[in-house]
Amino acid sequence: MLAACAAPARAGLSLAQPQPITSLPTLRAPVASRFIPAASASNFLSSSSPVSSSSSSAGRQQRRRWRRRAEGGTGPTVAEAEQPAASSSNSSSKSVPQSDVWELDFCSRPILDERGKKVWELIICDPERSFEYAQYYPNNKINSTELKKALEAVLAQPGARKPSSARFFRGQMQTIISRALSDLGIAPVPSRRCFTLMNWLEDRLESVYKQHPGYSDKASTLFTIDLGAPEELPDALRGEKWSFVQLPLGTLQQELGEVTAGRAFGATLDLAAVRHPLTPDTLVPGVAVYSRRADPLAAWTNGLDLAAVVADTDRAFLILETGYNDRWRYGAYRRSLETTAEAQAWEQAKQAVGGLHFLAVMPDEESEVCSGLWLLLDRRPPNV
């Protein structure tokens, strides 16, 4: 396991009390390490390719007419708005769900109907995007009953498999989504780990929504994530010491094999969600937490839907973000120029790899056993 985690933790550094940070160790050597400076991170550019927006002259003229009608309250009809989106795969083999986990969004889109009202859309996929579904709705059909009917129709297809859970990231829609899912025996999971769905939404903004005749850049959604002040961490989730660390991606993936095999608590993710070029040698920043009760600590931590670890230099502590908007005071340090610079360097290293980072729970800094390992991605949902 993480035998290289021998990097020394800060003496006396507690998750409950502020203590100084003296070095920025790696998981490979007990020495202060140098993160890739932000100014040198030119290789970490978005790997997503722009979608062509070319269209025929007639199509452009039609869109202009529909936009004028929308601005005057006579845009595309609700029936037209209800048609499945152009990139939807409802008629292909991807229309039949087989995965045990769904990612779901039910929200308004930057499209206006004939009344000048926002068009809503239900989109569903699985983490591998082997299943995709998209359907528009007028704004007078936004309730749990309509959502339940749509989900029932999806599950009524021959060969369809009902998932055990469905993730969603819009807290404002929790009541409607949770009620519809629960009525069908599907566990609703508020979560920011909807990475496949988020990427799909970003793609659809260019390839679908902006190509729609009723598109309006003034109609963007107001349903954004609202992060509150961090709360005190429950005692069961407290460790004894912690360190900023980093590990080559190739080695990190090998360690995550223990998680995949069920020999350690934790979670992994599809690296395609990062949308940044990565190699096995890419250094991934992380936080290592040490505790004599590492196994129960990892078990309790695994009961949370981990989203990200954030170094808050204004408050001089780490924040553990879970679910879609829960935040916890995770670890503190004594503020100084040195500790602030170190925390900033860690955050810069995280952003240099597209928000990718990890959390490790271990008995101590000399241990060759890792009780828990979570691969995390710090990203905000798209404003779509």
**pTM of the complete model beyond 0.95:** no
Percent of the chain with pLDDT over 70: 75
pLDDT in tens, 168-202: 999 889 999 999 999 999 999 999 999 999 999 99
Query: Per-residue pLDDT averaged across 306-314, rounded?
Result: 96
Residues in CB range of 284: below 8 A, 6 or more apart: 246, 247, 248, 249, 252, 353, 356, 357, 358
pLDDT in tens, 342-353: 999 999 999 999
- Which range has the worst mean pLDDT, 78-87, 241-250, 259-268? 78-87
Q: Which residue has the higher pLDDT, 265 or 25?
A: 265
Torsion angles phi and psi, residue 280, rounded to 5: -60, -25
pLDDT surpassing 80 at residue 114: yes
Residues in CB range of 256: below 8 A, 6 or more apart: 266, 268, 373, 375
Quick one: pLDDT at residue 302? 96
Q: What is the mean pLDDT of the chain?
A: 80
pLDDT surpassing 60 at residue 294: yes
Give the whole-angstrom CA distance, residue 117 versus residue 383.
Answer: 18
- Which range has the worst mean pLDDT, 70-84, 102-116, 204-218? 70-84
Query: Per-residue pLDDT averaged across 214-222, rounded?
Result: 84
pLDDT band at 61, cuts 50/70/90?
Answer: low
Percent of the chain with pLDDT over 90: 65
pLDDT band at 329, cuts 50/70/90?
Answer: very high
Quick one: pLDDT at residue 223? 65
Quick one: pLDDT at residue 225? 74
pLDDT band at 210, cuts 50/70/90?
Answer: very high
Query: Per-residue pLDDT averaged across 72-97, rounded?
Result: 50
pLDDT surpassing 50 at residue 9: no
The dihedral of CA 172, 173, 174, 176: what is its sign?
positive
Quick one: pLDDT at residue 222? 66
Give the whole-angstrom CA distance, residue 152 versus residue 214.
Answer: 29
**Pair type for strands 372-377 and 265-267:** parallel
165-to-110, 178, 186, 264, 364 alpha-carbon distances in Å: 28, 11, 5, 22, 35
pLDDT in tens, 127-144: 999 999 999 999 999 999
pLDDT surpassing 90 at residue 377: yes
